[in-house]
Structure formats: C-alpha cells, structure tokens
C-alpha cells in the first residue's frame, strides 16, 4: 500500500512572560519564505532535512543538526534544499532581550550582539535550543522557562557573537532612501510573494 504524502505543518505561539517571545515549530516541504525581516533575532535548529536561504548577499545551506542565527533587521529568504523539505524549531527573541543577556555577561551595558555566521555546527548549542524550545512548548513553569532560555542565550553569545560588531534592529536603523523604499515595499507586500530582483532594484543592490 502506498504511503500517504507527507503534510506540511506549522505551530506558532507567543510567550507573554518573556518579552512576547515568538516560537515556531514547523515541517515544510514546498513552502517558501519571500524576502522578509524580523525586528528581533531568529534562532533555531534544523531537526531534519535541510533549508537554504539567501542572507547577506549569498546563499546558505542549513543541514540537519545545524543552528541558524539571523540578526535583527536583515533581509533573508527560506526554502527547502531538496524535495524532502525540512523540519525545524525557531525562537524569535527581542533585540532588547539579547542586549540584556550580553550586558549581564559583560557586567556593563553592551550593544546588540552580532552573529557573523548564520549557520553553525554546534551540537551543544543545538541541544540547548531544542531543550529550551520544548520546555516553552510543554512546561508551565516560568522559572524553568527563564533559566533555560537565559542559559542558552548566554552560551550562544559567548560561543558565536562577534564582539567587534553590533547588530542593528529596525528600530535603530536610519535607512538610506533606497533601503527605506525596499523596507516600505516589504511592509506593504508582506502577504504576497516578493521577488528578490524587485527588492534589489528598489535598494539599488545586486541580488
């Protein structure tokens, strides 16, 4: 008997106790993400399959087990690398939360952490992200949420943040006119497919 076709699924929720932390658990096969940005960070783990995405002027591949880290305010896409699709868990912490964690680690005020490498092979961090994500999905203990999330973000910053650079959330950016046009176009067309070529033309950049 033939196996039924695999289905896509997506579960998205917010945790109001943690700066309205957004979380996503999804399985995608044919779904694609048009160019878009997040006000905060996008941090996750590929649990199966592989995702490919365009970010910071080049294509990246995130295989199973890898950690994905997208800085706030940076345009990126997302799609399956193969017909098998991909399954992943994502957290979208606010930029302010990451800055508080970085400041606590340093013992003084810090800027927004910047992550230079969007795909990293770090089984320790990957396991911490999955554990924190699962607790936030199933455990009602706010103390467990706080401690595991905070510990994971501390480790992520210590192991992978570039201390010489700072991220720039949308709220802090002073966009040049072409980039502002591209951002306004994204905002106006967030429900529609946006072609990378159109976005690059507005921003006067090469796709």
pLDDT, one tens digit for every residue, the chain (207 residues): 555 567 899 999 998 888 889 999 999 999 999 999 999 999 999 999 999 999 999 999 999 999 999 999 999 999 999 999 999 999 999 999 999 999 999 999 999 999 999 999 999 999 999 999 999 888 666 666 678 899 999 999 999 999 878 887 866 665 455 555 556 555 555 555 555 555 565 555 445
Phi (first) and psi of residue 34, to 5 degrees = -70, 165
Size (the chain), residues:
207
Domains within the chain, CATH numbers bracketed: 9-170 (2.60.120.280), 174-203 (no CATH)
- Helix (H) and strand (E) counts for the chain? 5, 9
Q: Do residues 64 and 49 touch, judged by C-beta distance below 8 A?
A: yes
């Amino acid at each position: 008997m033939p196996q039924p076709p695999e289905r896509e699924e997506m579960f998205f929720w917010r945790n109001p106790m943690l700066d309205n932390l957004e979380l996503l658990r999804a399985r995608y096969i044919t779904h694609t993400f048009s160019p878009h940005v997040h006000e905060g960070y996008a941090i996750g783990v590929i649990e199966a399959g592989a995702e490919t995405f365009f970010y910071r002027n080049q294509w990246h591949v995130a295989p199973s087990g890898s950690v994905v880290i997208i800085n706030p305010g940076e345009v990126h896409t997302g799609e399956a690398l193969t017909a098998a699709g991909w399954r992943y868990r994502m957290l979208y912490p606010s930029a302010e939360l990451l800055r508080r964690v970085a400041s606590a680690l340093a013992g003084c005020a810090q800027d927004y952490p910047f992550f230079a490498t969007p795909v990293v092979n770090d089984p320790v961090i990957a396991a911490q992200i999955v554990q924190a994500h699962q607790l936030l999905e199933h455990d009602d203990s706010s103390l467990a949420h706080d401690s595991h999330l905070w510990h994971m973000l501390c480790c992520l910053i210590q192991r992978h943040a570039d201390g010489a650079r700072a991220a720039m959330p949308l709220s802090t950016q002073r966009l040049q006119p072409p980039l502002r046009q591209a951002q306004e176009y994204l905002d106006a067309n967030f429900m529609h497919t946006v072609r990378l070529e159109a976005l690059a033309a507005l921003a006067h950049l090469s796709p």
